[in-house]
Amino acid sequence: MSKEYDAVIVGSGPNGLSAAITLAREGRKVLVVEKHHTPGGGTRTEEGPLPGYRHDVCSAIYPMALCSPFFQSLGLEKFGLEWIWPDVQLAHPLDDGCAAVMYRSLSETAARLGKKEANTYRKIFAPLLEKADSLFRNFMGPPGFPQSPMAVARFGLNALPSASLFAHSRFSSPTARALFGGNAAHSILPLDRPLTTNAIGLMLMLACHKNGWPMAKGGAGSIPLALRRCLESLGGEVQCNRQISTIDELPSAGAYLFDTGPHALAEIAKSKLPAGYRKRLLNYRYGPGVFKIDYALSEPVPWAAEECRLAGTVHVGGSFAEIALSEKEVWEGKHPQRPFVLTAQQSVFDPSRAPAGKQTLWAYCHVPSGSTRDMTGAIEDQIERFAPGFRDTILARKTRNCAEFESYNANFTGGDIIGGVTDWKQLLARPVARIRPHTTPADDIYICSASSPPGAGVHGMCGYRAALEVVNKSR
């Protein structure tokens, strides 16, 4: 019996759309189904809390997008995607009124750290930057012998210790340690964990010096819009407003790819998956969640440090020790009094995000999984600490706790926005220990979400790699 489609993809985040594009490029008849009225997963833009203010729902800044070999191959600019680079990629204010700063230029970033720290910074990143393209291809692509083994080995040696050990052994100034600590905290792990906290911090900083930390003009939703246009140009289909509860609701296809979390895959495809494999999927570990606020502001955030006013991203957390304590408390099930707050001020560089003369601010902090506690006061205390008068600029705010995030997107289990714990055990066995991790015991079922390799980030590589499994199987 002929199949209605060669492949059906459940979920239209960047990975689901990337899987569909990869298959459509091979001449396959492809359908993407999505429960929301537009594609995007966590990569969406919505209006609120006041008319004319456009806010990114989840992801907002894209250090990994331009490092993605798959995205590089698409030429998404032809489909309307435009990137905007702020003057300063990242600023990290400190209590003395100064700020640690990260520019696209490695030399400029190093020079701001002082002579001694600058030499150390260059020794760490200059050799990696020379081989950055190969490193990103190795880290984001399928396992295999590295194209630049010496560069991979150098990166690995730097990545082995915990972020805490690395920062304190390599840097002596509070400024340099804070800069590194804020990047490492994107792992949403305690900073004394070896391997992954340090690797993620190094990767994000290397991405900055390679391609910057851009934002999408018009909002995060511009990315899936461009991906959809690319897919449709290849003959692929996207159907929105389709909630899928069981695989039997899908049209007949040669392959089914799930841009969903492991728990959702186990539930939707339970009639086709062995009980033992489903149990392993259900044992997949999710980490802490987030509490997020979207602000409508009367004017730009009045940061005390001028560099923060020029930055697309501002890490609000004080010293390395404070950041480490905040992330440790979250893992212990506590709500930090002084949380590490990640902010983005897109409207400073993209006027389409707010009415003339007004601004937006995107801010969130990490909280225990499933938390429903209102962290507004704690977040605003932290911002006010480094931007006196901030509260006076607030016109309106919209908050979203862990439960509300999961309700919005089932992939955000317990409010976890990065697809599961990123410690070394789960990175090596993501979503389960399996030689070909995007496959399942069912010959026609695959997983392509951020809960599969290479993991979190808007880069499409999880979808690309899963789709290659489908292609290679049929050749």
**Residues linked to residue 362 through DSSP beta bridges, in sequence order:** 294, 344
pLDDT band at residue 186, thresholds of 50, 70 and 90? Answer: very high
Please give the average per-residue pLDDT across 119-142, as a whole number. 94
pLDDT band at residue 56, thresholds of 50, 70 and 90? Answer: very high
For 366, half-sphere exposure in the C-beta direction (CA atoms, 13 angstrom radius) is: 28
- Cβ atoms of 164 and 324 within 8 Å: the answer is yes
pLDDT digit string, tens, across residues 441-468: 999 999 999 999 999 999 999 999 999 9
Residue 427 pLDDT = 83
Cis peptide before 431 (omega within 30 of 0): yes
Residue 195 pLDDT = 80
How many CB atoms are located within 10 Å of the residue 389 CB? 11
pLDDT digit string, tens, across residues 203-221: 999 999 999 999 999 999 9
pLDDT band at residue 197, thresholds of 50, 70 and 90? Answer: confident
pLDDT digit string, tens, across residues 8-52: 999 999 999 999 999 999 999 999 999 999 999 999 999 989 999
- Cβ atoms of 295 and 397 within 8 Å: the answer is yes
Tell me the pLDDT of the chain averaged across its residues.
Answer: 96
Residue 59 pLDDT = 96
Domains of the chain: 5-52+220-285+419-474 (3.50.50.60), 83-215+287-407 (3.90.660)
Percent of the chain residues topping a pLDDT of 70: 99
Q: What is the dihedral of CA 347, 393, 302, 359, to 10 degrees?
A: 10
List the one residue out of 325, 333, 415 whose CA is nearest residue 368.
333
The CA distance from 231 to 118, in Å, is 45
CA angle, 43 as apex, 38 and 45 as ends, to 5°? 70
Tokens representing residue 426 in the block: 């789960």
Is 82 exposed, middle or buried, given 0-12, 13-18 or 19+ CB atoms closer than 10 A?
middle
Please give the average per-residue pLDDT across 227-247, as a whole number. 97
Decide if pLDDT at 1 tops 60: no
Residue 142 pLDDT = 78
Q: At what angle do helices 196-211 and 163-170 cross, to 10 degrees?
A: 60
The CA distance from 127 to 140, in Å, is 19
Decide if pLDDT at 148 tops 90: no
Q: At what angle do helices 320-331 and 163-170 cross, to 10 degrees?
A: 170
The CA distance from 76 to 458, in Å, is 14
List the one residue out of 188, 180, 211 whose CA is nearest residue 100.
180
Percent of the chain residues topping a pLDDT of 90: 92
Render 160-174 in DSSP notation, one character per residue: SS-HHHHHHHH--SH
Tokens representing residue 248 in the block: 């039997």
pLDDT digit string, tens, across residues 303-318: 999 999 999 999 999 9
The residue that leads in pLDDT, 176 or 195, is: 176
Please give the average per-residue pLDDT across 140-164, as a whole number. 86
Q: What is the dihedral of CA 205, 207, 208, 212, to 10 degrees?
A: -170
Count of helix runs (H) and strand runs (E) in the chain = 18, 16
List Cα–Cα distances, 312 to 47, 59, 101, 307, in angstroms: 20, 13, 11, 10
- Cβ atoms of 147 and 134 within 8 Å: the answer is yes
Q: What is the dihedral of CA 256, 418, 410, 277, to 10 degrees?
A: 50
List Cα–Cα distances, 246 to 110, 155, 249, 270, 449, in angstroms: 53, 43, 6, 8, 18
Element (H, E) at 122: helix 115-130
Element (H, E) at 331: helix 320-331
Tokens representing residue 182 in the block: 């804020």
List Cα–Cα distances, 180 to 160, 186, 320, in angstroms: 15, 11, 8
Residue 472 pLDDT = 93
- Cβ atoms of 97 and 302 within 8 Å: the answer is no
List Cα–Cα distances, 344 to 213, 348, 361, 383, in angstroms: 11, 10, 6, 12
- Cβ atoms of 306 and 82 within 8 Å: the answer is no
Q: Fill in the amino acid letter for 63.
A: P
